[in-house]
């Protein structure tokens, strides 16, 4: 899989990474969004991602209060992956905290990740008690101390992203990324200035929920009863309902037809569109709870959609 630069850093990542929220094993509120995966299942998913060519993993403090970080590190260790051989991204949880918490919690982050260094440290959302400049000052201190390699943000508006970029630039550091929700069913960043600002600043957009919590795999259209088995949080996040399935059916049918023509899956077509439609600006971090899902995601960039197919998908998604 051909790699891309993460923003204007020297870090190279594959267009598809593996989101690791599902490794939370039911710990804390966020972790209960997913079924608990045993250690062996996590190892198999990580192994499938690596064998598919994926070279980076995105986790967070809030994913099970560090459980996801721990389980990712344990899986990599069990697979004898050497430190530095993969890129690790994690996130600081700002809710009800000040910027000083970034430095005071970094030891916990590194403890959870064991021997694997933090390549990208991100502010998970804009809910800190401290201003953006203060948060970036703390991140810059960690970078200068060699504790992290790059700084990113998540769920930041265009204005906040610009502020983060400017604060870091004053310290000679680039803002690497902004992790935001972006998929064929949620394209708000194309209208609210986030994508435009990211392109102007050379910031990579990391798309979370690139398959809209499973809607863009087509499985809920094939089996509407599966909606009842999805967690309440996932249903809320994806607006999963019979009405949503009906509105999105024409798009899913087009994705299905294109997938059939390429000998691919619906999810692979959706992911391929995601990482090529805006050039190299957007990368995606689908999750996977089974090895087959990780294998599918890893192979998505190998799909070569025609200009006509890309345009057709774009048109149906907008409608």
Catalytically active residues are 63
- Closest by CA to 82, choosing from 44, 45, 50, 38, is 50
Cβ-based neighbour number of residue 243 at 10 Å: 9
Query: Can you give the C-alpha Rg of the chain in angstroms?
Result: 19
Is 122 exposed, middle or buried, given 0-12, 13-18 or 19+ CB atoms closer than 10 A?
Answer: buried
What is the number of other CB atoms lying within 10 angstroms of the CB of residue 304? Answer: 9
Name the strands in the sheet holding 204-208, side by side, starting at the edge strand that comes first in the sequence: 18-19, 56-58, 87-92, 118-123, 148-154, 175-181, 204-208, 282-284
Neighbouring residues of 265: CB distance < 8 A, sequence distance ≥ 6: 217, 259, 296
């Amino acid at each position: 899989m051909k790699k891309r630069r993460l923003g204007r850093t020297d870090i190279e990542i594959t267009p598809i990474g593996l989101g690791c929220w599902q490794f939370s094993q039911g710990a804390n509120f966020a972790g209960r969004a997913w079924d608990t995966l045993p250690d062996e299942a996590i190892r198999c998913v990580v192994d499938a991602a690596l064998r598919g060519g994926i070279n980076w993993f995105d986790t967070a403090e809030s994913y099970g209060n560090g459980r996801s970080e721990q389980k990712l590190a344990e899986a990599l260790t069990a697979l004898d992956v050497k430190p530095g051989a993969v890129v690790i991204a994690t996130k600081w949880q700002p809710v009800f905290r000040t910027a000083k918490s970034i430095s005071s919690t970094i030891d916990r982050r590194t403890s959870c990740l064991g021997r694997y260094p933090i390549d990208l440290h991100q502010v998970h959302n804009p809910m800190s008690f401290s201003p953006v400049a203060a948060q970036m000052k703390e991140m810059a201190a960690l970078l200068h101390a060699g504790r992290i390699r790059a700084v990113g943000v998540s769920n930041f508006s265009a204005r906040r992203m610009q502020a983060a970029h400017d604060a870091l630039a004053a310290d000679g550091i680039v803002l690497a990324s902004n992790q935001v929700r972006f998929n064929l069913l949620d394209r708000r960043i194309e209208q609210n200035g986030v994508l435009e600002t990211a392109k102007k600043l050379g910031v990579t957009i990391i798309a979370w929920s690139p398959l809209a919590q499973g809607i863009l795999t087509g499985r809920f259209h094939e089996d509407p009863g599966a909606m009842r088995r999805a967690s309440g949080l996932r249903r809320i996040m994806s607006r999963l309902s019979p009405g949503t399935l009906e509105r999105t059916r024409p798009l899913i049918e087009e994705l299905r037809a294109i997938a059939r023509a390429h000998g691919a899956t619906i999810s692979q077509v959706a992911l391929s569109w995601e990482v090529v439609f805006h050039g190299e600006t957007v990368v995606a971090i689908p999750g996977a709870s089974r090895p087959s899902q990780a294998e599918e995601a890893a192979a998505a960039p190998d799909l070569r959609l025609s200009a006509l197919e890309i345009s057709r998908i774009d048109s149906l998604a907008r409608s």
